[in-house]
């Protein structure tokens, strides 16, 4: 600092003499004259100045002592900032902290990832070894899709449309080994299928997540073979851009297509070869099975939530036929818009209602089906299943999927201004049911 203190002065040191910080009163006019043109800074910039006490009134304090105090205080302040301030700043910003334990979807704890790229790398390292390429020979040529190993016994989850029409199926593991695959069964509710390979040792099952806990905006990673046999285990990333989407997947020559409900929408790049591969969250757990991309838009794809797949995965492990529960109704999920448009008494639930192609109401309960036997009628509103309320977050089909055919459940209805509860024994969903 080059400015003078109002309480003292100090001379420029003679090279032949040891530096001294003593005031030289007789040189004050000359010193002040030399500094008249230099810029000044606020007096005592680091602390308020105390009330001035004339030197003559306080013999214990000389102008030089005040200047020495300022100099020493300034030096100590600079040492703190230079020597320890940087550490304190970095510590306060968390740059010196290690990873912190945080809750992760599906339970348990995980390590918080400091960057998106780190999360993707760790997730791919966890799930990548479980992703397989599925090559099918068909009448029209060769098809390529993906799948994910979920059990060391050779059980693989994939898309039904990946296997449709195949005359032979080859499964290629990430380590390059090839195995013949056989179709264990197709899901009658969704575009899912279970594939089995035998004789494969050292398989790595993918960790399964909880799709009921995912949120719009969180990281989503797709792994598969979008470019065919020459580019396996390709990784793309994006976010979960929406939940609860409904689409129709085109069928083959033997079917008109499949209506899919409650899908995960993502902007992670998904191409035909990705079909059947996993959609993974930031913790490296499978939250969905990619199934389709939107032909009319770019950057939009869909995945079947893994919670919907879990029942058939368990059935396969138990040696049971793949089956889904069936109640035999057509319905419309109620929201405020539908309630206002149709003058419904409730703004939530499942309205048992169907219309023909011209928009006229038709019978919505399958004759002789489980709902018909339980006394459910067209126009009723199903409000809960086994005590679980039906609302936009918990649609009827997502609740039913957790129950096996043959199970008897309680169904609460709203009819003619009153609530009533009936007992219904679930049937088995027919293969042709959309």
Domain at 155, CATH number: 2.40.10.120
Same domain, 212 and 194: yes
Distance CA 426, CA 408 (A): 6
CA torsion, ordered 92, 93, 95, 96, to nearest 10 deg: 10
Task: Tell me: pLDDT of 108 over 90.
Answer: no
89 inside domain: no
Q: What value does the mean pLDDT take over residues 36-52?
A: 46
Task: Tell me: pLDDT of 101 over 80.
Answer: no
Same domain, 200 and 305: yes
Same domain, 123 and 259: yes
- Catalytic site residue from 170, 187, 191, 281: 191
104 inside domain: no
Biggest CA–CA distance in the chain, Å, is 118
Same domain, 150 and 291: yes
225 inside domain: yes
188 inside domain: yes
DSSP 145: E
Q: 133 or 83: whose pLDDT is higher?
A: 133
Confidence of residue 255 (pLDDT cuts 50, 70, 90): low
Q: 3-class DSSP state for residue 166?
A: strand
Same domain, 304 and 367: no
Q: Give how many domains the chain has, as a whole number.
A: 3
Task: Tell me: pLDDT of 49 over 50.
Answer: no
Based on the number of CB atoms within 10 Å of its own CB, is 419 exposed (0-12), middle (13-18) or buried (19 or more)?
exposed
Give the structural domain span for 151: 113-318
List helix spans (H) across 3-115: 28-34, 63-80, 86-93
Q: Sign of the C-alpha dihedral, residues 293, 298, 299, 300?
A: negative
CATH number at residue 405: 2.30.42.10
394 inside domain: yes
Compute how many other C-beta atoms are within 10 angstroms of the C-beta atom of residue 223: 29
Same domain, 344 and 295: no
Give the pLDDT score at 47.
42
Same domain, 122 and 255: yes
Residue 113 near residue 131 (C-beta atoms within 8 A): no
Q: What value does the mean pLDDT take over residues 58-79?
A: 49
Q: What value does the mean pLDDT take over residues 266-289?
A: 92
Residue 178 near residue 170 (C-beta atoms within 8 A): yes
Give the pLDDT score at 299.
76
Residue that is last in its domain, among 318, 333, 349: 318
Give the pLDDT score at 69.
52
Task: Tell me: pLDDT of 5 over 50.
Answer: no
Give the pLDDT score at 80.
44
Task: Tell me: pLDDT of 125 over 50.
Answer: yes
Same domain, 163 and 275: yes
Compute how many other C-beta atoms are within 10 angstroms of the C-beta atom of residue 250: 11
Residue 171 near residue 181 (C-beta atoms within 8 A): yes
Confidence of residue 226 (pLDDT cuts 50, 70, 90): confident
Say what percent of the chain tops pLDDT 70: 70
Same domain, 16 and 155: no
- Cross-strand pairs, 334: none
Tens digits of per-residue pLDDT, 379-423? 999 999 999 999 888 889 888 988 989 999 999 999 999 999 999
Does the annotation mark 394 as catalytic?
Answer: no
Residue that is last in its domain, among 267, 288, 318: 318
Distance CA 15, CA 57 (A): 36
- Catalytic site residue from 146, 225, 275, 384: 275
- Lowest-pLDDT range of 58-72, 170-184, 192-206, 318-332: 58-72
Same domain, 273 and 222: yes
Contacting residues for 117 by C-beta, under 8 A, at least 6 apart: none
Same domain, 314 and 412: no
Residue 137 near residue 166 (C-beta atoms within 8 A): yes
Q: CA separation (Å) from 375 to 192, 230, 412?
A: 32, 57, 12
Residue that is last in its domain, among 271, 292, 318: 318
- Catalytic site residue from 9, 161, 187, 307: 161
Closest C-alpha to 208, from 139, 260, 283? 283
Q: CA separation (Å) from 372 to 128, 330, 333, 381, 382?
A: 47, 12, 19, 14, 14
In angstroms and rounded to an integer, the radius of gyration of the C-alpha atoms of the chain is: 37
105 inside domain: no
Same domain, 26 and 56: yes
Residue 286 near residue 148 (C-beta atoms within 8 A): yes
408 inside domain: yes
242-246: Cβ within 8 A, 24+ apart: 242/216, 243/214, 243/216, 244/392, 244/395, 245/302
Residue 146 near residue 223 (C-beta atoms within 8 A): yes
pTM: 0.68
Task: Tell me: pLDDT of 304 over 70.
Answer: yes
Compute how many other C-beta atoms are within 10 angstroms of the C-beta atom of residue 207: 16
99 inside domain: no
Q: 149 or 32: whose pLDDT is higher?
A: 149
Compute how many other C-beta atoms are within 10 angstroms of the C-beta atom of residue 254: 7
Does the annotation mark 191 as catalytic?
Answer: yes
Residue 365 near residue 372 (C-beta atoms within 8 A): yes
């Amino acid at each position: 600092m080059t400015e003078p203190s109002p309480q003292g002065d100090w001379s420029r040191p003679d090279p032949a003499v040891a530096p001294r910080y003593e005031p030289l009163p007789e040189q004050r006019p000359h010193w002040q004259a030399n500094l008249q043109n230099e810029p000044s800074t606020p007096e005592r910039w680091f602390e308020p100045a105390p009330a001035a006490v004339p030197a003559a009134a306080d013999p214990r304090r000389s102008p030089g002592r005040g200047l020495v105090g300022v100099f020493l205080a300034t030096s100590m302040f600079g040492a703190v900032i230079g020597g320890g301030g940087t550490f304190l700043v970095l510590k306060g910003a968390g740059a010196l902290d290690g990873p912190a334990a945080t809750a992760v979807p599906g339970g348990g704890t995980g390590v918080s990832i400091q960057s998106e790229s780190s999360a993707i790398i760790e997730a791919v390292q966890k799930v990548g070894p479980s992703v397989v390429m599925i090559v099918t020979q068909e009448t029209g040529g060769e098809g390529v899709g993906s799948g994910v190993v979920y059990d060391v016994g050779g059980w693989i989850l994939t898309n039904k449309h990946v296997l449709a029409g195949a005359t032979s199926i080859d499964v290629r593991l990430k380590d390059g080994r090839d195995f013949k695959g056989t179709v264990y069964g197709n899901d009658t509710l969704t575009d899912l299928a279970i594939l089995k390979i035998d004789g494969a040792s050292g398989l790595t099952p993918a960790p399964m997540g909880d799709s009921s806990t995912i949120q719009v905006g969180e990281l989503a990673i797709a792994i598969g073979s979008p470019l065919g046999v020459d580019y396996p285990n390709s990784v793309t990333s994006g976010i979960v851009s929406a939940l609860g989407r409904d689409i129709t997947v085109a069928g083959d020559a033997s079917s008109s297509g499949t209506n899919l409900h409650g899908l995960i929408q993502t902007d992670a790049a998904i191409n035909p070869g990705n079909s059947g591969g996993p959609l993974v969250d930031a913790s490296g757990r499978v939250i969905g099975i990619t199934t389709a991309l939107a032909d009319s838009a770019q950057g939009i794809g869909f995945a079947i939530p893994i919670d919907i797949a879990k029942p058939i995965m368990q059935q396969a492990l138990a040696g049971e036929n793949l089956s889904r529960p069936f109640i035999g109704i057509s319905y419309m999920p109620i929201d405020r818009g539908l309630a206002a448009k149709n003058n419904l008494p409730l703004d939530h639930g499942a309205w048992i209602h169907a219309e023909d192609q011209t928009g006229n109401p038709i019978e919505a309960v399958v004759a002789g089906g489980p709902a018909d036997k339980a006394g459910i009628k067209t126009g009723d509103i199903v409000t809960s299943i086994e005590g679980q309320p039906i609302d936009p977050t918990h649609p009827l089909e997502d609740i039913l999927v957790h129950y096996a055919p043959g199970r008897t459940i309680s169904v609460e209805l709203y009819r003619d201004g009153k609530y009533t509860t009936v007992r219904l024994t679930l049937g088995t969903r027919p293969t042709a049911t959309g």
